[in-house]
Amino acid sequence: MRIVIQRVSSGSVSVDGKVIASIGQGLVILTGIAPTDGEAQARLLAEKTANLRIFEDQQGKMNLSLLDVKGAALVVSQFTLYADARKGRRPSFTDAALPAVARPLVDFFAQQLASLGAPTQCGEFGAHMVVQIVNDGPVTILLEAD
């Protein structure tokens, strides 16, 4: 499982011109699933994400977590995180899980974040989404679970 976390002042997802999810301060989490991933990886990354100290405290140091600042999470499935572009000019996506495996794990990951206390919204799995991200910092973190 591979996630890209972006600290944001706001983020939203639109499908067919309609906003389906929107958050203020928090994290936009682009989420890729590998065929061998399971609930253990999703649980680990949800816990790590919710408690990752990447928000600034009163002294301007990154000491606060998503839970500390009472921020929200916006989870967006993104199989292209498993793109392999080492050969040729057209990326291969064979390292990404098929939808039957990926969809339930993305949902499980989002549910885990919510159960930890982070208000969580999601994009629409498999849809063509327009994702608006107002990156704060910018702060972007890549996490992987094997």
Task: Supply the CATH number for residue 131's domain.
Answer: 3.50.80.10
pLDDT of residue 56: 97
Question: Is the omega angle on the peptide bond into residue 138 within 30 degrees of 0, that is, cis?
Answer: yes
Catalytic residue among 49, 55, 79, 109: 79
Say whether 79 is catalytic.
Answer: yes
109 in active site: no
pTM for this model (two decimals): 0.96
pLDDT at position 63: 97
Neighbours of 83 (CB within 10 A): 16
Q: State which residues form the domain around 123.
A: 2-144
Is 31 designated active site? no
100 contacts 94 by C-beta, under 8 angstroms:
no
Counted domains in the chain: 1
Alpha-carbon span 95 to 143, nearest angstrom: 17
Torsion angle, alpha carbons of 98, 100, 105, 110, to 10? 110
- Ranges in the chain, pLDDT < 50: none
- Confidence at residue 146, expressed as pLDDT on a 0 to 100 scale: 75
Out of 31, 78, 120, 121, pick the active-site residue. Answer: 78
